[in-house]
Structure 1
Amino acid sequence: MKNLKKEFPVLSQNTYLNTASSGLLYDSLLDYRQEHDFDFLIEGSMFRDQQEKQLNAVRESIGTFLGCKLENTILTPNFSLGFNTILNGLDKNQKILLLDEDYPSINFSTISKGFEICFASANSSLEENIENAISKHNPNIFAFSLVQYLNGITINLEFLKQLKLKNPDLLIIADGTQFCGTRVFDFNSSGIDILGCSGYKWLLGGYGNGFFLFKEGILEKITPDTYNKAVSSTNYDSSYTNLRARYECGHLDTFNFRSLQFSLEFLSKIGLPRIEENIQELANYAKTKLIASNLLETDVIERSNHSSIFNIKATKETYNSLKEKNIITSLRGNGIRISLHFYNTIDDIDKLLANI
């Protein structure tokens, strides 16, 4: 995929190993965004009159990309806002299972709202730990990231299917922000009830866009009685009182959401199977080299399948040294996090290792 690198100007000056922090803007998307705002410039409110048609096209693109019906696709500016909206509508007497050290947008948001909480450890025995926690604590809800942001540990998707079959009443809510765009995935056939995602990382959609996908009937199951009573006592039209209005409050920005749609189509043209294969080849190469250099934690080494996110043993001084050499990473936890997307190469990994 080297010929695609010229779409991304950042790559001409940097070894960019930081998609887990922020995906890149690229030339084709910039051109599209300029066209979008030019249309708004010359049409004003007439451009906004097309908003619902445009946003439905976005929902359709998301559904096609990830396997979900348009009517079960909710648009949100980011994962955190959508997830908090869901939490605000849940009965506070429910018990929620979390993964220790998961993304704060999940764990802190849940803990701060007063739910009863239990935890499973996200280590080399992740799936076994989850099963044991469910058996011990009997939670109503399991909320977690598909890929752990600190070190890239990834939950087994087939395990989630079996987990749902064994625990049909367990509400499974997953954050796909570090997952969506890295591999082929079909939401409808997964074991996940609700999948949320921000679009600015692996989907390359820029900031200010995200979405939530709901299995059939789940929206109704998590709607509080107070909301239904309020709807029945008003005479507002349905655009203010339907379930979508509960999650899509106010005007949505077509600039941001259509940027996401453009990138979904961009990734689809490249081919998600091709992207997945390339990312996995890079991840396998990186893991082998990092193990040989004694730079990975035991929990990651012992996992048979892993994402393309790695936390390597290094100091802040090393991070600063890499940055001075235009090798872009992130400080996370007790080390340096690297993340590899389809626009990365073996040469990028080798350059990193030569400078650690």
Structure 2
Amino acid sequence: MDNLRKGFPVLEQYTYLNTAASGLLPEKVWEFRQEHDLDFLIKASLLKEKMGEVLTGVRESVGDFFNCAPNRVGLVPNFSYGFNSVLESIDKPSRFLLLKNDYPSINWAVESRDFEIVYAEIDENLEDNILRQVEKGKPDFFAFSIVQYINGVKLSIDFLKELKEKFPDLILIADGTQYFGTEDFHFDSSKIDIAISSCYKWMNAGYGNAFMLFNESIQGKIFPKHLGFGSLQGKYKAHEGNFIGKFEPGHYDTLNFGSLKVAIDLIKEKGMDAIENKIIHLKNIARERFLSAGLLEEWTANRNDFAPIFNIKGDDKLFNRLREKDIITSQRGNGIRVSMHYFNSEGDLDHLFKVLKA
């Protein structure tokens, strides 16, 4: 288990329980970035001549890791860019289902456009609320976070499969930013139509890189309009009108996207099974201890499927005390958000609870 902590120097200084805000930069990704920019300094355009080859490698790596054919993988700088590009691809009028108080970059983007919108409440009846609104409101699209950013409430992949089987015409657009990198995920069997994720959190790939995964059937249902020189460059974008090319109109930064490939290689090296098992172990211990201390909303703690993100009761004073003790968390909603990744340990939780008890 100690091997999972190697390569993250920040852990020598802090008890870092804040991946839900920003993942750590692994040494291997940092080393790649140093070498890349040294090459750019020395070679300039000679390095950039290989841009298409580099991006093809990234696309294939993402597709292989998430079980999605590379010709259905789009590379974008962040979730919001990709999601807004999708929204601009949708004919109006269309009706959306959103989760009330979901991640602002989802809800604000939909609400700022001329779509009809219905909402499902995030509470102890979340899945029933979604089913009820789909049956009643008959939305064309359901845009949602797989994992809620405030409290870690998670929609299980099994539930999403059942939803799609019951309502096959409903197009599912999932934000996986707080999910991808925490457990094994098979996109093609998930029944999700479009998944989009930034990679600076649980993927530990740094900022400026994200990806989009498209179901085979989505072409002809949305109509991307972006087009530029980058739309036609690369192995999987050989002709005008190419679907994924219309989400990639410009020149791309091989530093940032190359970082994503290195981050995926590192996850494979450590082993997704080992990572998932470590996260399950830590989140189960954390939930039990938070519950015993009376720090969680009970309904969130009673869910069978949950993420390694918890919102505990606490104010500015507690947040500042944690920071003084070098415990890094975030203030979200009405409490303090604590999140743990595979590089965390039971010792980190012990330190946290020691300060909480004090």
Band of TM-score, shorter chain: over 0.9
2: distance between equivalents of 1:143 and 1:62? 22
Cα-to-partner distance string for 1:82-136 (whole Å, 9 max, x where unaligned): 0001001112211100111110010011111121111111222211111111111
Number of the residue aligned with 1:63: 63
Contact persistence 1:6–1:12 (CA under 8 A): no
Number of the residue aligned with 2:79: 79
- The 5 Å alignment of 1:33-112 reads 33-112=33-112
2: distance between equivalents of 1:87 and 1:333? 27
1:239 Cα deviation after fit? 6.0
Secondary structure at the aligned position of 2:190 is classed as coil
1:317 Cα deviation after fit? 1.0
Contact persistence 2:4–2:270 (CA under 8 A): no
Aligned length: 349
* 2:254 is aligned with 1:261: no
1:62 Cα deviation after fit? 0.3
* 2:196 is aligned with 1:193: no
2: distance between equivalents of 1:138 and 1:280? 36
* Root mean square deviation, CA, Å: 1.8
Contact persistence 2:182–2:279 (CA under 8 A): yes
Number of the residue aligned with 1:157: 157
Q: After the TM superposition, list the runs of 4 or more consecutive aligned residues in structure 1 that deviate by more than 4 angstroms.
A: 237-241
What amino acid maps onto 2:157 in structure 1? Answer: L
- The 5 Å alignment of 1:113-262 reads 113-223=113-223, 227=225, 241-262=241-262
What amino acid maps onto 2:265 in structure 1? Answer: E
What amino acid maps onto 1:179 in structure 2? Answer: Y
* 2:317 is aligned with 1:311: no
What amino acid maps onto 1:66 in structure 2? Answer: F
For structure 2, the residue ranges without an aligned partner over 5 or more in a row are 229-236
1:242 Cα deviation after fit? 2.8
Secondary structure at the aligned position of 1:7 is classed as coil
1: distance between equivalents of 2:4 and 2:183? 18
2: distance between equivalents of 1:292 and 1:99? 29
Secondary structure at the aligned position of 1:147 is classed as coil
TM-score, normalising length: structure 1: 0.95
Secondary structure at the aligned position of 1:118 is classed as strand
Number of the residue aligned with 2:233: none
1: distance between equivalents of 2:299 and 2:240? 48
Contact persistence 1:283–1:340 (CA under 8 A): yes
1: distance between equivalents of 2:320 and 2:183? 31
2: distance between equivalents of 1:127 and 1:167? 14
1:267 Cα deviation after fit? 0.4
